[in-house]
Structure 1
Amino acid sequence: MRAVEPGGRVMLGMARYSTLFLALVIASPALYAGFVTHQLDVQTALLRLLIAVPVAAIMLGVFRMITRGYGRKPDEPRKPPEPGEGQPEPGADDPLRAEAVAGEPFPQRRSEDG
C-alpha cells in the first residue's frame, strides 16, 4: 500500500521504522560525538540526524522499488504441455534423452610445455 499526498505524488515512507532506524545508524557517529564525547555540538548532531532521515528514505525507497516484484507469482502460471497422441505421459519410465554437443576438446597440458 502506497501513501499518496494530496497532489498525487507518492511519499517515500519517511515515518517507517526501517527508515528511522537506518537514519539513526547513518547519523550514529555524529550522535555519539555530540552526546557522549562532546566533540560536536548537540545541534549539529541533531541536524545531521535530520538530514539522514530523507537520505535513508530515498535509499530504502530505491531498494523497495528494485525488490518489488520478488516473491510474487507470475501473472499466468506456466502449464506443462499436454501429452498428445503418440507421446508418453510425463514421468513414465522412459529413458532420459540428452544431446551431445560436438566441439574442440581442451588441449592437454604436458609438463614439457612449461
Structure 2
Amino acid sequence: MARFSTLFLALLIASPALYAGFVTHDLDTQTALLRLLIAVPVAAIMLAVFRVVTRDYGKTAEEKPPAEATGGEPLKAEAVAGEPFPQRRAEDNNG
C-alpha cells in the first residue's frame, strides 16, 4: 500500500484539498490531511484493480500459466452458421 505509485495517485487525488488547506487556507489543515489519508486506500484499490486487469498484457505463450490451470485441455469451439457462401472467382465476373 505504500508504493510510490499509490502515494503519488493519492497525492494527485487529494491535491485540491491540500491546496485549499495549505495555500489558500479555505479548508482546515486537519481536514485536508484527513482527505489525503482517505485517498491512500482508495488509490491502492484503484491501482490493484488496474494491475489485475493488465496482469497478462504483453506476455508470451511461455510466460502464461499452463493449460492445466484451465482443466487440462485447451478450449475448442466450432461455429456453424448455415449454408456456406459460394466462392466467386475472377473468371466468373468477366463473362
Q: What range describes the TM-score normalised by the shorter chain of this pair?
A: 0.5 to 0.7
Higher helix share: 2
Higher relative contact order (CA 8 A, sep 6+): 2
Rg larger in 1 or in 2?
Answer: 1
Gaps of 5+ in 2: 64-85, 89-95
TM-score, normalising length from structure 2? 0.65
Runs of 4+ residues deviating >3 angstroms: none
Q: Which residue of 2 aligns with 1:64?
A: 51
Structure 1: state its 5+ residue gaps: 1-13, 77-99, 103-114
Quote the offset at 1:101 in angstroms.
5.6
Percent identity between matched residues is 77
Please give the alpha-carbon distance, in whole angstroms, between the structure 2 residues aligned to 1:101 and 1:45: 70
Q: CA RMSD in A?
A: 1.8
Compared CA separation, residues 38 and 101, structure 1 to 2 (3 A): farther
The alignment of Structure 1 onto Structure 2 pairs a total of residues equal to 66
Q: Please, which of 50, 61, 79 is the counterpart of residue 74 of structure 1?
A: 61
- Sort the Cα spacing of 1:38 and 1:74 in 2 relative to 1 into closer, same or farther, 3 A: same
Aligned residue for 2:74? none
Q: 2:38 aligns with which of 34, 51, 58?
A: 51
